[in-house]
């Protein structure tokens, strides 16, 4: 699936031969820093901070935004569980919000879930689909809430000609094995805000007071963890970033063709999209769950309700409200009783039960895409 090869091997080889594995180890500019500079330039964002995972980037973003005990953070009911775990890691609690037919957070339900204790929204650009950022940023201004975009599944995508991850107050990428570009495990935090960047810089690097860049930091130092990325990760990412445009362009061409051909169906519709002009991901919507199931069985296209790991009902560590120590349980610090029930986001379950994914890769040959759509259109209900 990934476009990865000789150039990445050469870059990693250089890291090993130079015996230069840690990003802050020495004088000359390393790969991690070069990658960050290239990322900032590409996304038109002021700061990019590479980390060891997307989860680390999300947690550091919330630290950056000063989210903590007593705070509520709005997250969508359909996402990788890490989105909902990040608030817990900083002592806050996730409050679940329904998705709409775009598979992303429903701005109308965001407004309904806001309480006096809500501090931030984490819109998730899931499955290479983008959120309705215009409505979300409007809500953020109206209620003075921070927006941390989880763009872990949408690296390089645009919403209305702005890069996702660089629209909210903070944004995060993941570079794990399943993402648009990869180095095995990795992530990045993006922000235009100097304070968020400084706080994340301190937090992700055990307080960072010993570094040569410590003298430039104006924020007081505080206790942190180690979420640093290594030069091996940086070396791979530096090459991967150069490949990203081509991958996304090819995905977009294929998505456009799929949408054109599949919109002819009378049995299903192509799911609405928050920015069709830049679209990469595509979903199909059926009138009934029975039809979606039948379609899934006949074609192998996954019914979204069955992509179980992403559905909130299956987020065990969230639903159980268990933490590693009873005294470190953010639900005890919440300003009101937070309860989760399997049916709390019914609208989301209803949509997911009528939705199927259309799988394709950046290098799927165009004739194969056409052949596949003929198969999908020929299903009899």
Ligand X SMILES: *Cc1c(COP(=O)(O)O)cnc(C)c1O
Residues at the site binding ligand X, with contacts judged by CB under 6 A: 53-55, 79-80, 82-83, 124, 126, 150, 152-153, 174, 176, 187
Work out whether strand 268-270 and strand 283-286 pair parallel, antiparallel, or are unpaired: antiparallel
- 100 versus 150: smaller Cβ distance to ligand X: 150
The neighbouring-strand residues paired with 105 are 99
Which residues touch 320 (CB under 8 Å, ≥6 apart)? Answer: none
Q: Please identify, using beta-carbon distances, which residue of 54 and 156 lies nearer to ligand X.
A: 54
Nearer to ligand X, 49 or 376 (CB): 49
Tell me how far apart the alpha carbons of residues 109 and 143 are, in angstroms, rounded to a whole number: 14
Least distance to ligand X from the beta carbon of 159, Å? 16
Q: How many CA atoms lie within 13 A of 363 on its CB side?
A: 6
Among residues 203 and 295, whose Cβ is nearest to ligand X? 203
Cβ atoms < 10 Å from Cβ of 106 = 24
Can you tell me the distance from the alpha carbon of 126 to that of 132, in angstroms, rounded to the nearest whole number?
Answer: 12
Helix or strand (DSSP H, E) at 118:
strand 118-121
Residue 176 C-beta: closest distance to ligand X, Å = 4
Least Cβ distance, residue 65 to ligand X (angstroms): 16
CB nearer to ligand X: pick between 131 and 262: 131
Minimal distance in Å, beta carbon 22 to ligand X? 20
Residue, CB closest to ligand X = 54
Tokens of 249: 């362009």
Minimal distance, residue 15 CB to ligand X, in Å: 21
Tokens 């990693």 locate to 12
């Amino acid at each position: 699936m990934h476009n990865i090869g000789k150039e990445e091997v050469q870059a990693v080889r250089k890291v090993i031969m130079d015996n230069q594995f840690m990003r802050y180890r020495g004088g000359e500019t390393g790969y991690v820093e070069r990658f960050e500079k290239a990322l900032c330039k590409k996304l038109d964002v002021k700061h990019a901070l590479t980390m060891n995972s997307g989860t680390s980037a999300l947690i550091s973003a919330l630290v950056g935004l000063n989210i903590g005990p007593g705070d509520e953070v709005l997250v969508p009911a359909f996402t990788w569980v890490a989105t909902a775990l990040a608030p817990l890691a900083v002592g806050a609690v996730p409050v679940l919000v329904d998705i709409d037919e775009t598979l992303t957070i429903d701005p109308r339900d965001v407004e309904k879930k806001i309480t006096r204790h809500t501090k931030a929204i984490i819109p998730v650009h899931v499955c290479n689909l983008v959120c309705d950022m215009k409505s979300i940023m409007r809500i953020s201004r109206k209620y003075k809430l921070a927006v941390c975009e989880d763009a872990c599944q949408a690296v390089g995508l645009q919403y209305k000609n702005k890069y996702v991850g660089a629209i909210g107050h903070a944004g995060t990428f993941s570079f794990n094995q399943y993402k648009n570009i990869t180095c095995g495990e990795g992530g990045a935090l993006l922000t235009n805000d100097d304070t968020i960047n400084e706080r994340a810089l301190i937090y992700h690097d055990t307080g960072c007071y010993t570094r040569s860049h410590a003298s430039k930091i104006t924020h007081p130092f505080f206790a942190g963890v180690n979420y640093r990325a290594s030069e091996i990760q940086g070396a791979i990412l530096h090459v991967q970033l150069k490949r990203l445009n081509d991958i996304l362009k090819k995905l977009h061409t294929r998505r456009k063709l799929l949408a054109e051909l599949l919109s002819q169906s009378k049995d299903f519709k192509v799911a609405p999209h928050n920015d069709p002009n830049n679209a990469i991901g595509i979903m199909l919507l059926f009138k009934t769950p029975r039809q979606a199931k039948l379609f899934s069985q006949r074609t192998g296209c996954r019914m979204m309700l069955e992509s179980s790991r992403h559905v909130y009902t299956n987020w065990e560590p969230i639903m159980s409200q268990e933490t590693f120590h009873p005294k470190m349980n953010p639900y005890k610090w919440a300003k009101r009783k937070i309860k989760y029930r399997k049916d709390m986001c019914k609208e989301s379950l209803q949509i997911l039960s009528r939705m199927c994914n259309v799988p394709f890769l950046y290098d799927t040959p165009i004739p194969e895409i056409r052949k596949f759509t003929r198969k999908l259109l020929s299903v009899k209900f």
